Each structure stands twice: as structure tokens, then as C-alpha cells.
Chains A and B, each alone.
Chain A
Amino acid sequence: DTEVTQTPKHLVMGMTNKKSLKCEQHMGHRAMYWYKQKAKKPPELMFVYSYEKLSINESVPSRFSPECPNSSLLNLHLHALQPEDSALYLCASSQGDHTGTPLPFFGPGTRLTVL
């Protein structure tokens, strides 16, 4: 299994809703990432988990809450989002070692629309 899966593919939510995005990989990768991509812009890093611990939080608003329950799963909990948070949310994973070639694998993304 050499892929990263993300659910749901599409999500429409109101500003008062609470929802979660899910990401899963079974490649034994120990680093997992959330990226946000606005239309016609490059992906921007949000969070990095390394060995199930949060390594990087790129000053992301607290209405986004990541969670890594185990080495295969990564969640992004959403609450009280704003319309400007509408974007494609990409999950990725990588081998995460010093000497290897940590080619990140990207999931297909979740298209989020906040009304």
C-alpha cells in the first residue's frame, strides 16, 4: 500500500459547525503533514507531526486543531471556521529519517467550503 488516503473528498460546513478531516497511510511513515492550498496558490504548511508528536505549528489559528492518534492516522478538527478558510487541505507523509530520501506522498486532498 503506497498511498495516502483522505476523507471526505468534499466538505461543506457552516461557520458554527464542528467537523474533522481524516488522513491515513500504511507505509510506515513516521512524519505526517497538513498543508492548506488556496486556489492558484502553492500549498502552505500548517502542521507537522513527527513520531506522533507535533513538531511544527505554522502559526495556525486555534480553530484548526490537529491530532495524531497513532502512527497511521492524522486528523484535523475544524471549529468555528471562516469563509476564507475554504481551500484544498492536503495531507502528506514521509519516511522521516536523516539519511534517506524522504519523498513525501500526498493524499488527494479534501475540498473544504465554509459558508
Chain B
Amino acid sequence: KQEVTQIPAALSVPEGENLVLNCSFTDSAIYNLQWFRQDPGKGLTSLLLIQSSQREQTSGRLNASLDKSSGRSTLYIAASQPGDSATYLCAAPNLISSGSARQLTFGSGTQLTVLP
């Protein structure tokens, strides 16, 4: 069964700093990995989806990398802003036996605070 781990659990940085969030997974036979953002008490917003054939995916100030061989993914946030404060979750999918749906296994998240 897939297990997903995220470190650190919490991170506090001053505004403008570049930062890296880490995600590791046990089953390297994934076909993609996703990063989500969750604001307190809110639902999940998908940030980046990296296919297994890709090594990186970029969206604005966000860059996610995937190394299947080592079972790791990183989310790089450049020039952090107070509005980036949220919990960031990575998730790896498991193919459900019916073949038509996907089960996501989530990491426990990194709670990011960007101080003005």
C-alpha cells in the first residue's frame, strides 16, 4: 500500500524567501503525483500535476519535481509571499481495481507560514 510522507510538518519563513517542500512515497510505480494547497477550513486546490514521464512541472512561482527512482518529489516556491501561507499536500494515486477511478494517498502536509 502506498505511503506518502511530507517534511517538514511546519515551516515559517520571511517574505521573499525561496523554499522547498519535500514529499516521499514508497511505491515508485506511480503514474503521476499531485501537489495541492489547502487554506484553513477550505477544500483542496490542485497546484501541479507531474506525470511519471516528466521530471518537472512549473506554474508561475511554483516548480515541482519528481524522481521516481528515489521516491521523492519537491515543491519549490520562489519569492514567497504572505498569500502563500497555507497547508501544502502531496498525493500519489493508486489505480483502483475497477480501472475507472483513482484513489489518492495524501501526505500529512506541510503548514507554511510566510511572515510579512
Contacts and interface: CB of A to CB of B under 8 A. Distances in A.
29 contacts: A6-B43, A30-B100, A31-B100, A42-B107, A43-B89, A44-B106, A48-B101, A49-B101, A50-B100, A53-B98, A55-B98, A56-B103, A90-B43, A90-B44, A94-B101, A94-B102, A96-B102, A98-B100, A101-B32, A101-B51, A102-B93, A102-B101, A103-B49, A104-B104, A105-B46, A106-B36, A106-B45, A109-B42, A109-B43
A103 B34 contact: yes
Contact of A45 (B32, B45, B100, B103): B103
Contact of A56 (B96, B99, B109): B96
Given A101-B32, A103-B34, A103-B49, A43 B99 contact: no
Contacts of B102: 31, 94, 96, 102, 104
A106 B44 contact: yes
Interface of B: 32, 34, 36, 41-46, 49, 51, 89, 93, 96-104, 106-109, 111
Nearest to B102: A102
Given A56-B96, A96-B100, 16 more contacts: A30-B100, A40-B111, A41-B108, A42-B108, A48-B96, A48-B103, A49-B101, A50-B96, A50-B100, A97-B100, A102-B93, A103-B34, A103-B46, A105-B46, A106-B43, A106-B46
A90 B101 CA distance: 16
Interface in A10-63: 30-31, 33, 40-45, 48-51, 53, 55-56
B11 to A, nearest CB: 15
Interface in A97-115: 97-98, 101-109, 111
User: Which one of A42, A53, A88, A94 has the greatest number of beta carbons of chain B within 10 Å?
Assistant: A42
